[in-house]
Amino acid sequence: MLRARDRPRLWQGAFAVVGWAALGLQYLLMIGPAEVEAMPSLTVNFFSYFTILTNLLAALALTAPLVRADSRLGRWGANVHVRAALAMYIAVVGLTYHLLLAHVWAPQGLAWLANSLLHYVMPAAFVLDWLMFTPKGHLRWIDAVRWLAFPLIYVMWTVLHGFTSGWWPYWFVNVEQLGWGRTGFWAAAMLGLFLAVGLAVVGLDRLMGRAGRDTGARPA
């Protein structure tokens, strides 16, 4: 019988494999039969998707504590603030794809598989991992604001990269097509979504932490 303390490791190990496999498959599909000289720019574009960056961080956070728990990367992956922030980011990945991108993108075959893993399976798996296995009761409301730093830096990179390369990862951040006003609206809306999800994460953390203390149980 599987012991209770082994369940997190089994869950995290399984979805670490899923996450890395999905990232690898998506990269191969994006590179395709490209010429060697095109690979550097395609690789930069690949890592310019918020979906890719967030899934990469999530895969690292699942993997590192299992492989080297006592390493700096292992401690980073196990940190309750890091795991909560990643739960927020990857939840927004799933929500944004479903609400803003699914209607303009209909992948088939292996592309459908990679897309589903990155936008649905991994967001659900990581949020559930945070809910089930990450200790609760350690977050403050200000954390939800601090976590906005990553998407803000991403927006700045996207604009800089977009104007220098002419390539934009998402239609709602394409300044050249939408103009600054409409792009600014979408950027503000997205930051509002990040903040709302972040506040929900903090609220759940505090609620579950309080419930655990009231019952005398260890935080979930």
pLDDT along the chain (220 residues), means of 10: 77 97 96 82 96 98 95 96 98 96 91 97 98 96 98 97 96 95 96 98 96 61
pLDDT number for residue 5:
74
Q: Which residues of 189-203 are buried (b: 16+ CB within 10 A; e: fewer)?
A: ebeebbbebbeebbe
Coil, strand or helix: which one is 3? coil
Distance, CA of 37 to chain centre: 30
In a domain? residue 133: yes
Range of the domain at 14: 4-215
- pLDDT at 4 (0 to 100): 67
Q: Is residue 220 part of a domain?
A: no
- Confidence at residue 196, expressed as pLDDT on a 0 to 100 scale: 98
CA distance 52 to 12: 19
Confidence at residue 219, expressed as pLDDT on a 0 to 100 scale: 44
Per-residue pLDDT at 38: 85
Single out the residue of 138, 132, 127, 130 nearest to residue 213, CA to CA: 138
Please, are residues 87 and 124 in contact by the beta-carbon 8 Å criterion? no
Q: How many domains in the chain?
A: 1
Per-residue pLDDT, 105: 85
Query: Can you give the pLDDT at residue 220?
Result: 43
The answer as to whether 132 is a domain residue is yes
Secondary-structure percent of the chain, ordered helix, strand, coil, rounded to 5? 80, 0, 20
CB burial of residue 145 (10 Å; 0-12, 13-18, 19+) = middle
Tell me, yes or no, whether 123 lies in a domain. yes
